[in-house]
């Protein structure tokens, strides 16, 4: 048992002290704080005028002497636009010259008619907040002018364009309301991404670690003092523990970032990916499926890494496993909008897809408890079988040297392991 903990400690601390692990962790933590405070940072930059101007944008309106400029100003004021709108009598040529010199931010030409014609000109053609606000105001102005030409009163025009009251209701017992789905979607989306990242990152780390030891001939020294099977499980447990700690660091950093954020997290982007009501069961299932998914793919990665003698061959043999993870993530992310779809339900019971897809269903639906428990049982059985099979391959694979170009070498590894 002492040799197990020695290899466990070596696998853990070697990666924990590596520059890549430290830098990745620090960048991720900084990213959480950046995302949590991004709205306030953008607002501060815009107000400070760091990228030019005095920090306050101005839209110049040219209407050819009509009353359209005043009407558009009223619309923008009613919409509480975050820029100033000023009427100007300068021709388009002069405004273009001022725009090229950076003296003005943008201008709009309004031409009366049916329908109203507007030409918005700015430095770039990209979508901006000002352009969207002006387009919306012009459309509102066109609607008001059309209603006036038809002889409609203000109340009649308002009634004509009043949106219908539309409610969604599902009869399925497992469905949640749209509000509940919105509240769950944010956490589910982020945790699926973290599961996807962790499974790929740590599984690849295990395969690379085993291949590196074989290529440097360190493996020959290790297996003379400890059995290959014990070596495999110690590697998996050591790097898995490191992964759990890193995920806990990410979770703590995200929590602190959201709690200490100076931004309002109830609107905008965060209104779609709400975090206001998160179930404890969702967090527990996230941890459980992370552990199960890690051990499932880690054993497969250790198996593949053991039959590789050169680091250059690792990625080629890891490709089938990567395709499984990528396909699983595609199914999970597509299921965010239709979590009750048949293909989501079926694939949630396939072991290599379960960690992401079943977690999606647990987070987005009110499914019977036996469904996730059944998928967990299937995963545990698969992990046990893969562990047994992987140990047989690993026992012989660590003794194999030479170029490994295909999965056919698994058979050779089993035969070699049976002789030892």
Decide: helix, strand or coil at residue 58. strand
pLDDT category of residue 65 using cuts at 50, 70 and 90: confident
Q: What is the pLDDT of residues 168-186, one digit of tens each?
A: 665 555 555 555 566 566 6
Give CB contacts under 8 A, 24+ apart, made by 126-131: 129/82, 130/57, 130/59, 130/81, 130/83, 130/105, 130/106, 131/106
Residue 37's H or E segment, with its range, is none
pLDDT category of residue 271 using cuts at 50, 70 and 90: very low
Phi-psi sector, 268: left (phi>0), alpha (psi -120 to 50), beta:
left
CATH code of the domain made up of 56-160: 3.40.190.10
What's the pLDDT score for residue 376? 92
C-alpha dihedral over 39, 44, 50, 54, to 10 degrees?
A: 120
Q: Which of 324, 305, 359, 343 is nearest to 195 (CA)?
A: 359
What's the pLDDT score for residue 96? 84
Is the entire prediction scored with pTM above 0.85? no
d(CA 173, CA 191): 25
Q: What is the pLDDT of residues 207-262, one digit of tens each?
A: 787 777 666 656 556 656 667 677 778 888 888 888 888 888 887 887 788 777 65
What are the structure tokens assigned to 377, written together?
A: 């049982």
Angstrom CA distances, 29 to 34, 36, 55, 200, 291, stand at: 9, 11, 30, 19, 22
* pLDDT at residue 293 tops 80: yes
Overall average pLDDT of the 30-36 stretch: 82
Q: Which of 339, 305, 71 is nearest to 185 (CA)?
A: 339
What are the structure tokens assigned to 26, written together?
A: 């620090």
Q: What is the pLDDT of residues 326-381, one digit of tens each?
A: 898 888 888 887 888 889 999 999 998 998 888 888 888 888 889 999 999 999 99
Encode 171-218 in three state secondary structure.
Answer: CCCCCCCHHHHHHHHHHHHHHHHHHHHHHHHHHHHHHHHHHHHHHCCH
Decide: helix, strand or coil at residue 225. coil
Domain boundaries in the chain? Answer: 56-160, 176-418
């Amino acid at each position: 048992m002492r040799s197990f903990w020695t290899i466990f400690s070596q696998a853990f601390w070697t990666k924990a002290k590596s520059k890549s692990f430290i830098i990745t962790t620090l960048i991720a933590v900084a990213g959480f704080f950046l995302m949590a405070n991004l709205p306030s940072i953008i607002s501060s930059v815009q107000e400070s005028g760091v990228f030019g101007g005095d920090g306050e944008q101005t839209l110049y309106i040219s209407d050819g002497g009509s009353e359209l400029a005043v009407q558009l100003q009223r619309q923008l004021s009613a919409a509480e636009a975050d820029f100033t709108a000023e009427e100007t009598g300068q021709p388009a040529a002069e405004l273009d010259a001022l725009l090229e010199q950076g003296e003005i931010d943008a201008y709009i030409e309004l031409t009366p008619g049916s329908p109203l014609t507007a030409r918005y000109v700015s430095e770039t053609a990209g979508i901006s907040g000002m352009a969207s606000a002006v387009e919306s105001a012009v459309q509102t102005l066109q609607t008001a002018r059309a209603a006036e030409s038809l002889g409609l009163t203000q109340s009649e025009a308002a009634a004509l364009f009043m949106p219908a009251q539309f409610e969604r209701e599902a009869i399925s017992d497992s469905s949640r309301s749209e509000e509940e789905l919105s509240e769950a979607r944010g956490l589910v989306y982020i945790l699926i991404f973290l599961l996807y990242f962790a499974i790929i990152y740590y599984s690849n780390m295990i395969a690379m670690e085993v291949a590196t030891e074989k290529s440097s001939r360190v493996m020959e020294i290790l297996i003379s003092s400890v059995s290959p099977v014990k070596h495999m499980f110690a590697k998996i447990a050591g790097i898995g523990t490191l992964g759990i700690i890193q995920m806990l660091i990410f979770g703590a950093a995200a929590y602190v970032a959201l709690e200490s954020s100076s931004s309002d997290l109830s609107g905008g982007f965060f209104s779609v990916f709400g975090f206001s009501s998160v179930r404890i069961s969702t967090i527990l299932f996230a941890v459980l499926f992370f552990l199960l998914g890690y051990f499932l793919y880690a054993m497969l990665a250790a198996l593949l890494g053991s039959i590789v003698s050169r680091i250059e061959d690792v990625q080629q043999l890891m490709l089938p496993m990567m395709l499984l993870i990528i396909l699983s993530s595609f199914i999970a992310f597509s299921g965010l909008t239709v979590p009750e779809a048949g293909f989501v339900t079926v694939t949630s019971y396939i072991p290599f897809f379960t960690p992401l897809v079943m977690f999606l269903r647990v987070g987005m639906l009110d499914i019977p408890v036996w469904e996730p428990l059944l998928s967990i049982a299937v995963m545990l059985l698969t992990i046990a079988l893969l562990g047994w099979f992987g140990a047989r391959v690993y026992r012989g694979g660590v003794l194999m040297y030479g170029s490994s170009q295909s999965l056919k070498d698994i058979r050779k590894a089993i035969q070699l392991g049976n002789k030892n």
